[in-house]
């Protein structure tokens, strides 16, 4: 007798929703960025859903978030009629990318210090890398060295505008001539 999977004593609404959407466990696991075994444990009632994962599953299946988290009425899932099988149009991708860029720009603008800016930047790229791994997507991280070089160039420009030590606010061109070294002074004498 072959080992047949047992039906859970308390079925999860996710199983019914997945079957109603004609989705395999492998397909749903791929869409949500989780392992098939994790999905099997959720459907079997062995693993509770986190709100973060519940959102991913709700989006992928069209199942209502409240019903998914509460596992209420598992025999009649409440599913939206959103077609999820087509790729989003390029205009939607552009709009969403612009909106995310705006949100991130606003967050950067609220930073009170350079340190806070760099920590926030690092955290954003860490989360993007995690999502890339979850969904098997490439996430290109810009080189931090390039960002630092941009800052250094900007600081050099600032230094060239005002001569060193002119605290009176008077703008003078910066002289590129250096003071003679001790060796040069001795040679002249």
Per-position DSSP letters for 119-183, written without gaps between them: HHHHHHHHHHHHHHHHTT---PPPPHHHHHHHHHHHHHHHHHHS-TT-TTS---PPP-PPPPPHH
Domain ranges of the chain: 13-70, 90-161
Which CATH number is 13-70 given?
1.10.260.40
| Gap between the Cα atoms of 146 and 41, Å rounded | 45
pLDDT value, residue 36: 93
| Gap between the Cα atoms of 57 and 61, Å rounded | 6
pLDDT value, residue 93: 87
Average pLDDT over residues 23-37: 90
Q: For residue range 79-138, what is the model confidence (pLDDT) as tens digits? A: 776 555 567 778 888 999 999 999 999 999 999 999 999 899 988 988 888 888 877 888
pLDDT value, residue 82: 56
Q: For residue range 140-183, what is the model confidence (pLDDT) as tens digits? A: 877 665 556 666 666 565 555 555 555 555 555 555 556 666 66
User: What is the rounded end-to-end Cα distance, in angstroms, of the chain?
Assistant: 106
Residue 74: band (very low, low, confident or very high) from pLDDT cuts 50, 70, 90 = confident
pLDDT value, residue 24: 92
């Amino acid at each position: 007798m072959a080992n047949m999977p047992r039906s859970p004593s308390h079925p999860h609404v996710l199983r019914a929703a997945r079957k109603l959407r004609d989705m395999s466990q492998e397909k749903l696991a791929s869409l949500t960025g989780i392992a098939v075994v994790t999905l099997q444990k959720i459907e079997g009632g062995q693993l509770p859903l986190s709100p973060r994962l519940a959102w991913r599953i709700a989006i992928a299946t069209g199942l209502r978030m409240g019903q998914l988290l509460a596992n209420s009425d598992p025999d009649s899932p409440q599913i939206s009629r959103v077609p999820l099988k087509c790729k989003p149009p390029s205009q939607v991708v552009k709009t969403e990318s612009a909106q995310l860029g705006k949100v991130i720009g606003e967050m950067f603008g609220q930073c009170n210090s350079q340190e806070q800016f760099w920590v926030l930047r690092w955290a954003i790229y860490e989360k993007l890398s995690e999502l890339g791994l979850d969904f098997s997507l490439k996430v290109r991280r810009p080189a931090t060295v390039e960002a630092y070089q941009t800052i250094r160039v900007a600081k050099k420009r600032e230094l060239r505008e005002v001569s060193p030590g002119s605290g009176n606010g008077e703008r003078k061109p910066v002289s590129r001539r250096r003071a003679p070294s001790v060796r040069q002074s001795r040679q002249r004498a």
